[in-house]
Structure 1
Amino acid sequence: MEARDLELLEKYLPQDLELKTLWDEHIIYKKKLEKLESKIVRTPSEDKTLKEIKKQKLEGKTRLHGILDRYRNAEG
């Protein structure tokens, strides 16, 4: 994430429940991905899970950036 996005997160996380939820989910997905991607050999089930987590993380990040864009525009 860019420095400006991190500043906005720091400023608005305490007061925006949706933003906080999306950020928390983003961190959880990131940790799960790191764990799965660190495996040298994955089962087909793990590969499927990896793809699903990547999709969920991307969807959440898109929503997260939408909220940050609103705050960025409101601040001018």
Structure 2
Amino acid sequence: MEQKDLELIRELVDSDQELAELWRRHLELETQLENMNQRVYLTSEEQVERKRLQKIKLAGRDRMDAILATYRQQGRQA
């Protein structure tokens, strides 16, 4: 994630409940995926679960990007 995105998230997380929840979930998924990726071997079920988590994380990231884009657009119009 880019530094400018992280800074904007930190600014908005207290005032935007949806963004706060997405960010919290993003960090949880990142930790879970890091733990899985550190393992030498994953069973086929674990590989499927890793892919599922990656898709959920990506969907959340897409939603966060949309929220941030909205805030950026509003900032330009102000």
Question: Which TM-score applies when normalising by structure 2?
Answer: 0.93
Cα separation, 2, equivalents of 1:41 and 1:2 = 31
Residue of structure 1 in register with 2:12 after alignment? 12
1:12-71 deviation line (CA, Å, top 9, x unaligned): 100100000000000000000000111101111100100000000000000010000001
User: Any unmatched runs of 5+ in structure 1?
Assistant: none
Cα separation, 2, equivalents of 1:29 and 1:22 = 10
| Cα deviation, residue 6, structure 1 | 1.4
The question of 1:31 aligning with 2:31 is answered yes
Residue of structure 2 in register with 1:47 after alignment? 47
Residue of structure 2 in register with 1:3 after alignment? 3
Runs of 4+ residues deviating >6 angstroms = none
Question: Which TM-score applies when normalising by structure 1?
Answer: 0.95
Q: CA RMSD in A?
A: 0.7
Structure having greater relative contact order (Cα 8 Å, sep ≥ 6): 1
Q: What is the aligned length?
A: 76
AA matched with 1:55: K
The question of 1:57 aligning with 2:57 is answered yes
AA matched with 2:26: H
User: Any unmatched runs of 5+ in structure 2?
Assistant: none
